[in-house]
Structure 1
């Protein structure tokens, strides 16, 4: 890599962590490690082409590397941060980043643990992934062209921010710096709300009779695709970003109510206006 990072530990061999580990296998790092709880997942990473060291020992994975990337559920990150901070000073990483979908809670908790230990945390969220899970769904090209939010905190140094921005840029991301609270408000609308609406589409269409799904075309399949994402992961994401998601759902509910009323009242003009607005917004999205 051309940036300052020469050694990396990726924590978690899921879709994002596994994809990052595979991408970094081609980056010419001096040291690359991958940690996972299950040996089967680590074996899968090796089978997919991961060329670094694998281990189920967390301390072994992070000891002495420059950068640790946390690709695990947001709820377990504070505990892992404490384990990093408890390493002997000479064995602690210089920087920690992550791939978590929610940043508000981490922005306070992780620096509070890591700053006193001399470790800089700079949160990140690459906007890519899959409704599939596990190392079997990993893709070494996943980050190519993906947008990535980087969320500096109040104590983030310019040098640490530049290192983490450069790291994500090197793996192929288009990097954008954003405040953690603003990030959570944005992703509540563009990521978390769509997941809930996909779930609503699946339930609304199929709950009464799942056999009707055999007749479904691409409309239902495309609209509900992300509802196949991990249930435990998405429960955590929605509750970690509770306030912003609740606000987004409230606004979306107003739009659903407007559609309901327009249909019930046979208000063609109102339906036309709503559908035309949606079409224009979706057409614009395709150009971004």
Structure 2
């Protein structure tokens, strides 16, 4: 008989306040969507709005799951790893609701749904992302981790490709206003650049700096390029809007703020640890006898 563990408990069975808070927080968007529906805020196209809302939260939770490792590195708080799986499964749950509502919107005509997915590029890549996310969710249990062994890590590295597909699906679906998908794309770039830099032994604060320095102008270029290609708005007009103080905040500004927040966490944590580090006096030779300080700290 399979014994299910409470999601708010640690592996040793102890109650985890962190996991409990995160677990409860995962239901807040669903509750908010239900509230909007109940109050008539989603009318007149209720199902269409439900599709959009659930898809939006699926991508948000996917990005939050990708944020966990950079936060662990920057804040040096390894306990966050306990909630990464939970957030990733939530991303799949909202994506599943997103797809189910699309089927509802098509009056449960599965043949028509299949043809739409095959013929419409943005639906095709969205469905590929969903299938891949389902595979990750299905193999997220401790039993599957043990069964797959080293292959598990290889399989779950697909999450980066899933992120690209999900963001492209969101961008194409948004059509006229791509503000939020461009913001998410820029934040995704920050996280990917951070990971790539840390893998090359770059300190977390420097990795965050690289991420924000590269992703911010890249976000502006992505926005300007998209509007130029899709809506035929002059490229340089959109690009100039990113540096014009009289204009409203562009996506690049939000990416700059998000990357700066990650950088601030890394710098503050580094500073606080440096203050707590024990002072190390000058090294003495071995002939200094028993009075020599044996506590040698490597850099």
TM over 0.5: no
Which of the two has greater helix per residue? 2
Give me the TM-score of the superposition, normalised by structure 2: 0.27
Give me the TM-score of the superposition, normalised by structure 1: 0.28
Which of the two has greater strand per residue? 1
Answer with 1 or 2: which has the greater Rg.
Answer: 2
